[in-house]
Amino acid sequence: MTLTTIEVGSFFWYFGFGILATMALLFFVAAPRAGDQSWSKWKKILGIMIFLNQAFYWFMAISEGIFTLEESLPLHMCGISQLLLFAYLTFDVRKVFPILVFWGPLGGIQAFLTPGMESTFTWAYIIQFYMAHSFVVLVPIYLMVRGGEKLPTGTFWRTVIITNIAGFVMMVINSILGSNYWYVNQPPPVNHPLVQGEWPYYLIGMEAAVVTLFFLFSLAFRKYKA
């Protein structure tokens, strides 16, 4: 399956930001907040919604015969973030929250800036793609701002270390599957200003960008530290 890229500045590029803005309004204006009677039930429902949205992609890809181990597993940072959100919201697996706060928003926003879909270019896939990435961008922030969640001390450095370990693990998985999850075995097939050069040199720029973005994000949300 060839990656379907969405041209920056095109209708579908702006459409993605429209979905992101709409979901932001829903979460930060209309959705329940911590202390509401429906809060616990709402979190479980939200987790199930996130999982069903991802499962919808699997169902479509399998039914169309385009599901592959090399491209369709939820092993990119955003795919893993969706599963972690499901675990946190539905089953209260609290240990995964700190990593979600960094992986979700900072990984997910890249899908809006330089979108690329590993599927056919249909409305169903487009909406599923943008909803999935809106969830991982917005929900961790929503859980801090409206849900009262706090980040433990030292989350920044722990996340940097875990992210690097995960990147090396993904290299091994990619070598076994012939895949390119996390784009650590070859550059992503999109024009991204933070990814320049060939392997392994572009990884240096990626590492610097990740650490810088994590640090800036940590500063921006320092009021939500425990």
pLDDT in tens, 58-112: 999 999 999 999 999 999 999 999 999 999 999 999 999 999 999 999 989 989 9
**What are the residue boundaries of the structural domains of the chain, listed by start?**
4-224
Angle between helices 201-220 and 155-177 (to 10 degrees): 150
In whole angstroms, what is the distance from residue 57 CA to residue 86 CA? Answer: 16
Are 190 and 116 spatial neighbours (Cβ–Cβ below 8 Å)? yes
> Model pTM?
0.93
- Bridging pattern class, strands 4-5 and 116-117: antiparallel
In whole angstroms, what is the distance from residue 203 CA to residue 222 CA? Answer: 28
Structure tokens at 28: 């930060």
Phi, psi of 5 (to 5 degrees): -95, 145
Are 159 and 214 spatial neighbours (Cβ–Cβ below 8 Å)? yes
pLDDT for 1: 56
Mean pLDDT for 126-135 is 98
CA–chain centroid gap for 19, Å, is 15
